[in-house]
Amino acid sequence: MVLTLKVISCAINYNDGLLKEEGLREAQKKNRLIKLPSLIEYFGYCLCCGSHFAGPVYEMKDYLDWTEGKGIWAHSDKRSPSPYGATFRALVQASICMAFYLYLVPYHPLTRFTEPIYQEWGLWRKLSYQYMSGFTARWKYYFIWSISEASIIISGLGFSGWTESSPPKPKWDRAKNVDILGVELAKSSVVLPLVWNIQVSTWLRHYVYERLITKGRKPGFFQLLATQTVSAVWHGLYPGYIIFFVQSALMIAGSRVIYRWEQATNMALVKKAFVFMNFAYTLLVLNYSAVGFMVLSMHETLASYSSVYYIGTILPIALILLGYIIPAKPARSKARKEQ
C-alpha cells in the first residue's frame, strides 16, 4: 500500500517537473522533480525499510535532499539535532498504545456484532459497544504508527526544521502520522484527516482532491466523495472499506453544515451548543462507520448498522439536506449592525 503511493507520487512529481511553474500549486512547486532520479535513488526511496510496511509516506524530493545533505539537512555551523529524545518519546508512546490495545481487545471482540446477545441489547448499549470497539481498534494503529515514527526519526529523515523559539528546538513532524488526543477529542469530522493517518491524508489532498478542483471554482461534495472512494480502493476491495469511506464523505459533509451554522450566529451560548453538537455527532458517526472498516464483510457491517437503525447514515444525510433548506448566512458583527 505504501509502495503504491510512492510510485504514483514519484511519477506525478516528475510529470510536474516537465510543466511550467506558472499555474502550479504550492505543493506541486515544492515537490516537483526537475530531473529523473537514478535507478538506485528510486529503489532506495521505494524500499526505505523504516516506512516500507506501515508508512508514513513522504516525498521523493525530501528523500533526495536527506540523502544528499541538502535543504534543511545541509551541513552548517549549527549543531545537528539529536534524534534520540524524540525517538525515545515515540517508543514510549508505542509501548503505552500496545498495552492499551492488549488490555482492551479481549473485552470487545468484533464477533460480538453477529452474536444473539448483541441483538438483545438496547440502543444505547449497542452504540456504546460500537464506540468501545472503535476505540479499542484505534490503539493498534497508534502503536504501529508510533513505531514507524521512531524509525524515521532516528534515521534523521523525520527532521522537519527548527522552532521559532529562543533557543530554537528541532521539530520531528515529518514522520508524525497521528495525533491521538486530536482523534479521540475531535470537535469536528472535518479535522479527522488532519490528525488520523496524517501523511496519507496529505497525499490524498495533494494528488487526488486538489487535482479534481476546476480552476476558479470551490471544491464540493464530488471532490470529497471521489477522494474517499480512491482511499477505499487503495485500502482494498472489501465491502466494509467501500461503505466506510462513503460514510466518511457523508460524515464530513454533515459536519461542515453544523460548522456553518455555528459560524452564522453571534450568540455565545448557541455557538457552544453547536460546538458540542459537532463533537457528539463526530463521536457517534465515526464509531458507527468504523465498524465497516474493522469487520470488512457486508453481512457484519449491515448487521451492526441495522441494529442501531442506520442512525449514523441517516443523520449525515439529514444534515446535508437541512443545509440546503436552512442555509447558513454569515453572522453580522455588532459594530456592523450599529453602523
pLDDT recorded at residue 166? 81
pLDDT recorded at residue 1? 92
Assess whether 68 and 86 both reside in one domain.
no
pLDDT tens for each residue of 3-52 = 999 999 999 999 999 999 888 999 999 999 999 999 999 999 999 878 88
List 162's β-bridge partners, or say none: 170
Assess whether 36 and 124 both reside in one domain.
no
Last residue of a domain, one of 144, 178, 212: 178
Q: Are residues 219 and 229 in contact, defined by beta-carbon separation less than 8 angstroms?
A: no
In a domain, 186, yes or no: no
Mean pLDDT on 117-130:
96
Assess whether 117 and 65 both reside in one domain.
no
Q: Are residues 285 and 312 in contact, defined by beta-carbon separation less than 8 angstroms?
A: yes
Q: Are residues 246 and 232 in contact, defined by beta-carbon separation less than 8 angstroms?
A: yes
Percent of the chain with pLDDT over 90: 81
Assess whether 121 and 12 both reside in one domain.
no
Q: CA 242, CA 248: separation in Å to the nearest integer?
A: 10
Mean pLDDT on 259-277:
94
In a domain, 192, yes or no: no
Assess whether 134 and 232 both reside in one domain.
no
Assess whether 57 and 113 both reside in one domain.
no
**Residue 138: pLDDT band by 50, 70, 90 thresholds?**
very high
Mean pLDDT on 160-172:
87
For residues 80 and 56, which has the higher predicted lDDT (pLDDT)? 56
Assess whether 206 and 317 both reside in one domain.
yes
Please give the grid coordinates belonging to residue 200. Answer: 496519507
pLDDT recorded at residue 339? 36
Mean pLDDT on 227-238:
95
Mean pLDDT on 226-238:
95
pLDDT over threshold 80, residue 329: no
pLDDT recorded at residue 301? 96
Other beta carbons less than 10 A from residue 266's beta carbon: 12
pLDDT over threshold 80, residue 162: yes
Q: Which residues form the domain of 227?
A: 197-332
Assess whether 201 and 324 both reside in one domain.
yes
For residue 202, with 0-12 CB atoms within 10 Å meaning exposed, 13-18 middle and 19 or more buried, which class applies?
middle
pLDDT recorded at residue 291? 97
Percent of the chain with pLDDT over 70: 96
Q: CA 12, CA 1: separation in Å to the nearest integer?
A: 17
Domain count, the chain: 3
Assess whether 51 and 168 both reside in one domain.
no
Best CA proximity match to 141, nearest among 201, 209, 94, 72? 94
pLDDT recorded at residue 334? 45
Angle at CA 141, nearest 5°, toward 124 and 314? Answer: 35
Q: Catalytic positions, please?
A: 235
Assess whether 284 and 217 both reside in one domain.
yes
